[in-house]
Homo-oligomer: A and B are copies of this chain.
Amino acid sequence: MDQKPLRISLDDSPEALRAALSQLREQHKHFVNSELALDLTRGKPATAQLDLSNALLGPIDSHSAGTDLRNYGGLDGLPAAKALCAELLGIAAETAQARLLVGGNSSLSLMHAVVSFANFLGLAGQAWSDEKNQTGQATKILCPSPGYDRHFAICEQLGIEMLVMPLTGQGPDMDALEKAAQDHSVKGIWCVPRFSNPSGEVYSDATVARLAALPKIAANNFLVLWDNAYALHAFHDKAPALASIEHEADKAGTLNQVVQFGSTSKMTFAGSGISYLASSETTKQAFAKHLAKVSIGPDKLNQQRHVNLLKDAATAKAHMRRHAEILAPKFNAVLQALDAGLAGCNMGDWSEPEGGYFVSFDARPGLANKIVALAAEAGVKLTPAGATFPYGRDPEDRNIRLAPSFPALEEVQRAAEVFVNCVQIASLEDALSR
């Protein structure tokens, strides 16, 4: 930043606001003229993060797993990869081989498959679409929001109605969920339980236990879709831990209806990682039976590359600390800029995540689209406003997701300053127009 950020609060006098607005517009013009090209749209690892896994680019022994990794076979994935991924998900080693499956380079594909199979073919219980045809009631999925746009896109594609559910900072509002799940046309819930996308919150132990028990209230083919995408993605060692939903579901007797997902996309190479899924043995087998019609098996060579690199949970955690060293300063830069320009100014609230890939910003109602448009003018691309809500519709037009992982640190700093300026302009214009 060329100068200290201008600080102005909506509680200041209209004269002060008008004077500030004119200065802020000058600053905006300056940004526009600088022809920036910064992109905070997606949770994409930076080059330096990818470099941490460059051992994956090296040569590999095709027989290192005691089998010919080059040939067909092994729908469930390599046993060694299953053991590794169980550690990454926190699945007990003794049940890992029975309960877990390791796939290709995309956990999104596993999630799409689970929802498609459950909807059209039946996974844990009757196919949702068959039931819909019988009852005439739309199939519904609970969507704690703001949430992950690609989860919502799956539902939209398959014609599954999405119900927006509130988040509390400790995970979804369980009272609201437990009420909603009593409607047995509700067939599932999307969860990103640690460092939620985008709110960054970590589900509390009590929330995990209540979510694990939810299938007892809900329809008998209801699924808890547990996308543990950021299980090991803390910025520091004191970040809140996540309780084991497997443990809670085992206790509650609901494991057939809980499906956990994860991937190494943000641990190794975003486009060339491995993905995994775990549930009860019964549900995993039902999934594998359907999957056998889709694929003869995953890329075992790439699974073995990951076994060689990540080895076990301890090695993976050490690896993730190196990711944190790169990510944490970028998140700090965003938070410092927000703090310097906006703290106590009544123009919005934001998350202070201890891990994950996002800062979630809530502007004053009605301003998110405007802020994103202003930022675009100034050369800072943000995730489209609304994208964090089902159907791309933020009912209050408030939420903006900031994804600072990919650009270089100084670019993140600059983008955050532009963002603060845009929030200030939109907020002042709004206040002065009333």
Q: Which A residues contact B (CB, under 8 angstroms)?
A: 42, 44-45, 47, 50, 53-54, 56-62, 68-74, 104-106, 108-109, 112, 116, 120-121, 133, 150, 153-154, 157-158, 265, 269-272, 290, 292-302
Contacts and interface: CB of A to CB of B under 8 A. Distances in A.
Nearest to A45: B71
Contact of A71 (B116, B133, B270, B297): B270
Nearest to A71: B270
Given A154-B293, A271-B298, 7 more contacts: A47-B68, A71-B269, A72-B270, A74-B271, A109-B295, A271-B301, A272-B300
Choose among A74, A265, A295 the residue with the greatest number of B CB atoms under 10 Å from its CB.
A295
A364 to B, nearest CB: 33
Contact of A59 (B44, B59, B109, B133): B59
Given A272-B302, A301-B269, A108 B70 contact: no
A268 to B, nearest CB: 8
Contact of A271 (B42, B56, B61, B71): B71
Choose among A57, A72, A265 the residue with the greatest number of B CB atoms under 10 Å from its CB.
A72
Contact of A104 (B42, B72, B105, B290): B105
Contacts of A270: 70-72, 296
A57 B57 contact: no
B73 A299 contact: no
Given A269-B71, A270-B70, A271-B70, A108 B50 contact: no
Contacts of A53: 70
Contact of A108 (B106, B120, B294): B294
Contact of A105 (B58, B106, B108, B299): B299
A334 to B, nearest CB: 21
A73 B150 CA distance: 14
Contacts of A108: 294-296
B121 A296 contact: no
A45 B71 CA distance: 7
B297 A271 contact: yes
Contacts of A106: 294-296
B153 A293 contact: yes
Contacts of A72: 42, 44, 265, 270-271
A136 to B, nearest CB: 13
Nearest to A103: B104
Contacts of A112: 293-295
Contacts of A54: 62
A61 B58 CA distance: 9
A120 B121 CA distance: 12
A373 B6 CA distance: 85
A106 B72 CA distance: 10
A367 B71 CA distance: 32
Given A73-B271, A104-B104, A57 B293 contact: no
11 contacts: A47-B68, A50-B68, A50-B71, A58-B59, A59-B59, A70-B272, A106-B295, A112-B294, A157-B293, A271-B297, A299-B299
